[in-house]
Amino acid sequence: MDITEENVHGKWKEFILTNDHGMSVSILNFGGIITNMIVPDKYGKCENIVLGYNNYADYENNTNYLGAQIGRVASRIKDGSFHLNGSHYELAKNEGTHHLHGGPNGFHQIIWESGTHQSEHEVNLVLTHTSKHLENGYPGNLDISVTYTLNNSNELTLNYQAASDHDTPVALTNHTYFNLSGDMTDTVHNHRVQFDSRYFAELDEELIPTGKLIETTDTPFDFRNGRLLGDGLKSETTQQIIAGNGYDHYVMFGSEKAVTVSENNSGRTMKIHTNAPGVVLYTANGLDEGLKLNEGLSQKYAGVCFEAQPHPAALHHEGFPNVILQTEEKYHSYIKYSFE
């Protein structure tokens, strides 16, 4: 096990966590961004399986949120506003009239405080930050920590903790784009995905949840028996056309909060375990094309995101898991990525 630190882009630090089996994860203190994730394939060949920019400077305007930590609240908040405890809050609007992924100065755009720890069986990077009262419009001083832990079982775990001195919405997640093939010139059409998907949130033309939760049965959103992403990407349902001919939807878990993703050519399988109530499945339908990435130019469907989180549609609609962190509560969520 090892953890090293490098200065990059003249002002950031990049931490490289490495285990004894050829897996490594590279993380910036800027945005908590995962820039590389090296994982062996079925032949033992180690390749990068996440999308990242070739030039570190491109992360400064990371409108695709490649690899970034997202907060205070992931996903879109309708009209960039909400009511809480009798008060009205206006948030920074960075997608038309709406608020997306914490706003223009969200957690993907800050330099986090950092600390490391190493033991025989795992290495840890801890990033911390205090988001000030009314920053981007949110109430409360919010203390956050994100701990990245890599062990010798080829498991990367992200542990989120937070506390606030005001009641405030919190829904933290990571926005890494995965491509298990290790060939970033390939798309994710041949990635097979399986999870206990029970309901998905219907979207309007601006990708804002309407408040309606639709059963996944007999839809492209039913992954309970597993399906290739390509099958859904070929679908011409209204919901997928709205999302740019793909997935960009919040899907709620049933009893099992886990996702299994596999890619046959490489033989890689990734299992995601979380305590989040659902996941935003995003197949990079809106990924800007022609960006200079580590492995070549970006293209539509070049990666897939599994943004495990509660959803801020709860601020405007019933039926969605709560996103309000009370002052007397401690926020804790985790996402664990296991590779075989």
Instruction: Find, among 175, 174, 149, 144, the residue nearest to 161 by Cα.
Output: 144
Measured CA to CA, the distance from residue 123 to residue 277 in angstroms comes to: 28
Q: Residue length, the chain?
A: 340
Cβ neighbours of residue 86 closer than 8 Å, sequence gap 6 or more:
none
Q: Using an 8 Å Cβ cutoff, are 103 and 137 in contact?
A: yes
Return the amino acid letter for 89: Y
Measured CA to CA, the distance from residue 334 to residue 258 in angstroms comes to: 12
Measured CA to CA, the distance from residue 2 to residue 12 in angstroms comes to: 20
Cβ neighbours of residue 236 closer than 8 Å, sequence gap 6 or more:
none
SS3 label, residue 8? strand
Cβ neighbours of residue 241 closer than 8 Å, sequence gap 6 or more:
none
Q: What is the enclosing helix (H) or strand (E) of 239? A: helix 238-242
Query: Cβ of 217: how many Cβ atoms within 10 Å?
Result: 11
Query: What residues act catalytically?
Result: 175, 307
